Amino acid sequence: MKVFLMYRDQDFDLQRPLPWNEPTLTQDLELNTLFEAMALGDKHVFEVVRRAVLCGLTDLDAIRYRQDILKDCLKNPAIVRDIYQTSVDSVENKTRSWFGFWGHYPSGILNGAIDMLQMFMGLLKKLRNIADEHAFRFESQGFRAFFEMLKRELNDEYLAEIQDHLTMLKFKDGVLLRATLGKGNEGANYMLCKPEGKNQTWMQRFFGKKSKTYTFSVHPRDEHGFRTLATLRDRGINLVANALAQSCDHIDSFFEMLRTELAFYIGCLNLYEQLAGMGEPVCFPVPFGLESRGHSFKGLYDVCLALTMKKRVVGNDLEGDGKDLVIITGANQGGKSVFMRSIGISQLMMQCGMFVPAESFHANVCQGLFTHYKREEDALMKSGKFDEELSRMNDIITHITTHSMVLFNESFAATNEREGSEIARQIVAALLEKRMKVFFVTHQYTFAYGFYSKKMSNALFLRAEREPNGVRTFKLVPGEPLETSYGEDLYNSIFGDASGMQLLLYQKPVAARAG
């Protein structure tokens, strides 16, 4: 039995390696805020959504396959949660009652396997009943195939047959074995046999001809005799015990995979319900191929900021189709970094098959996502800030491939304007030449205006909007780069009128009085 709710024809690999830059992506995009909101304290959901989001897809059909399944989940949340809880019950029951499996002896293995299969039978019947009652509500290929599989492989005849076998394997009437004589007349080739007369009527059993048997009895105090009989019994049931244990492993693997693959959709449901409670919009994005250059949206917002503030936040619009380069300048604290974070998070959400935090959204998939954000100096740095920036850029160049996306946030600002602008220009030019998509937040006017003056058809320039009175709208609008970042506004908000700065700079210091 296969689940196939994450891929059309393969299981989701929870052991798949994460991208090499996972720690950097998680830090720069504040992804743990997203993962924690999706998990709601469930460690398994956290790990699944973390791996699913960071190990995205580039195949458009695979992305749409997950989107369709998620749409079904959003329409039928209670049913999906019921299925997920069934898989969780399986894991919890196994852990609680069969921790450490069943021992090393065939009899112990057989008894443990019977009890576990009996538990599994109840859960499988529950899944079959869900399929019978609710399959018609689901439209995605993934769920339809899943429910059809349950109906086909767990039909009434099959379940009844399994129950009969489990009842018989309890051996309430003893164990019937067949053996041959080996060397020294020792028993060999022990085999479990099906008792005769199980399907006979009571009259056939009472009046029927009985075969001749030779029996002996073991004295109640003969411990050695009982141990010998137990050994003979274990030899006879060994093959059956192993086969039943393998069946348990197979069903257990099915429930484990069901729990893992549904955990992704449970995380999406948790996130959707929180965003809906805030009144925030979401939409299913339209993904374009790697070779395309599309990036347009309406009302895109930073989902992590909304989750942190627990209220609606400002969204942005963009018409970026056909663009490889987007340079963002403008006022300090005007929403540039928040916008950059929304770009990165929405790309990851789209490529793992999720909805995105926007009213509408379409973009091309990328081969990889990379971030290069400015860092504050700390004791862990092995060199200066500028050397550290170049070292991180070298790591990106080592791993990057064509059709990747790079997000720069105030990069190369640790040196002077002229040097920083020239380094940024050369790096961006090289990335564009290799068909990368670049978003760059900068205060370096020389760098930004240098690209603006080229009038490139594949470049877009945005500015953080600022009203005449200095108020930030946190909206980004198309516009020519400006030489100022309006740092004076920040001074005024903290110290008052900027003219006071002049007085402060020219005031003579007062000598401290000796005491």
271/355 same-domain check:
no
234: pLDDT strictly greater than 70: no
306: pLDDT strictly greater than 60: yes
Last residue of a domain, one of 237, 261, 277: 277
Which whole-number Å values give the CA distances from 266 to 34, 44, 86, 480, in the listed order?
Answer: 14, 11, 13, 44
Q: Smallest Cα–Cα separation from 35: which of 45, 27, 25?
A: 45
Residue 492, number of CB atoms within 10 A of its CB: 16
329/289 same-domain check:
yes
Last residue of a domain, one of 234, 261, 277: 277
257/355 same-domain check:
no
Q: Smallest Cα–Cα separation from 256: which of 94, 490, 128, 47?
A: 94
Q: Using CA atoms, how far apart are residues 218 and 511, in angstroms rounded to an integer?
A: 109
Flag whether 157 is in a domain: yes
447: pLDDT strictly greater than 70: yes
Q: Smallest Cα–Cα separation from 141: which of 61, 259, 84?
A: 61
254/309 same-domain check:
no
Element (H, E) at 120: helix 106-134
Across 105-118, average pLDDT:
73
289/369 same-domain check:
yes
| pLDDT tens, position by position, 409-419 | 999 988 888 99
Under the banding of pLDDT at 50, 70 and 90, the label for residue 158 is: confident
Flag whether 223 is in a domain: no
What pLDDT is attached to residue 205? Answer: 56
Among 25-39, 215-229, 262-276, name the one with the lowest average pLDDT: 215-229
Better-predicted residue by pLDDT, 260 or 153:
260
456: pLDDT strictly greater than 80: yes
Flag whether 206 is in a domain: no
| pLDDT tens, position by position, 56-87 | 999 999 999 999 999 999 999 999 999 999 99
CA atoms within 13 A of residue 443's CA, in its CB half-sphere: 16
Q: Smallest Cα–Cα separation from 240: which of 166, 154, 160, 159?
A: 166
Enclosing domain of residue 262: 55-170+249-277
271/317 same-domain check:
no
Flag whether 199 is in a domain: no
Under the banding of pLDDT at 50, 70 and 90, the label for residue 316 is: very high
Contact 353, 8 (CB under 8 A): no
Contact 348, 337 (CB under 8 A): no
Tokens representing residue 165 in the block: 């076998």
395/338 same-domain check:
yes
Under the banding of pLDDT at 50, 70 and 90, the label for residue 163 is: confident
Contact 420, 428 (CB under 8 A): no
Which whole-number Å values give the CA distances from 152 to 1, 122, 145, 206, in the listed order?
Answer: 10, 17, 10, 40
Contact 423, 443 (CB under 8 A): no
Residues 6+ apart with CB under 8 A from 74: 268, 269, 272
Last residue of a domain, one of 225, 257, 277: 277
Among 9-18, 266-275, 414-423, name the one with the lowest average pLDDT: 414-423
Flag whether 483 is in a domain: yes
127: pLDDT strictly greater than 60: yes
pTM, full prediction: 0.84
Q: Smallest Cα–Cα separation from 38: which of 30, 29, 46?
A: 46
261/394 same-domain check:
no
255/309 same-domain check:
no
150/271 same-domain check:
yes
Across 300-329, average pLDDT:
97
Average pLDDT, the chain: 85
What pLDDT is attached to residue 445? Answer: 93
Q: Using CA atoms, how far apart are residues 447 and 426, in angstroms rounded to an integer?
A: 10
266/410 same-domain check:
no
* Structural domain total, the chain: 2
CATH of residue 436's domain is 3.40.50.300
Residues 6+ apart with CB under 8 A from 360: 283, 297, 298, 299
253/309 same-domain check:
no
Under the banding of pLDDT at 50, 70 and 90, the label for residue 496 is: low
Flag whether 401 is in a domain: yes
Q: Smallest Cα–Cα separation from 497: which of 470, 474, 464, 460?
A: 470
Under the banding of pLDDT at 50, 70 and 90, the label for residue 513 is: very low
Flag whether 24 is in a domain: no
Q: Using CA atoms, how far apart are residues 191 and 204, in angstroms rounded to an integer?
A: 26
Across 175-180, average pLDDT:
68
Conformational region of residue 38, where left means phi above 0, alpha means psi within -120 to 50, and beta covers everything else: alpha
Flag whether 264 is in a domain: yes
